[in-house]
Amino acid sequence: MKASELRAKDVAALEKEVGDLLKAHFGLRMQKGTQQLSNHTQLGNTRRDIARAKTILAEKKKGAAK
């Protein structure tokens, strides 16, 4: 997911997005553990998407506090 797409969302939508990404990352980790994951780059991409979403969420929360 691109940062521009995330910046267009509000705080509640970003929190939901982070939750969904964490669930997806957990599922990918379980697939890796059971040798069912064929594309290992998905793990890194999901981890980066989580970090990107959390960063933008923190920026929005900090901006709302001011």
Amino acid at 4: S
Report the pLDDT value the prediction gives residue 58, as an integer from 0 to 100. 95
Rounded Cα gap, residues 36 and 2, in angstroms: 27
Q: φ, ψ for residue 15 (rounded to 5)?
A: -65, -40
Using one digit for the tens of pLDDT, what is the confidence trace for 6-61?
A: 999 999 999 999 999 999 999 999 999 999 999 999 999 999 999 999 999 999 99
Chain centroid to CA 56: 11
Report the pLDDT value the prediction gives residue 1, as an integer from 0 to 100. 77
Rounded Cα gap, residues 57 and 9, in angstroms: 9
Domain residue ranges in the chain: 3-65
pLDDT over threshold 80, residue 63: yes
Report the pLDDT value the prediction gives residue 39, as an integer from 0 to 100. 93
Amino acid at 18: V
Higher pLDDT, 26 or 66: 26
Q: Which fold does the domain 3-65 belong to in CATH?
A: Helix Hairpins (1.10.287)
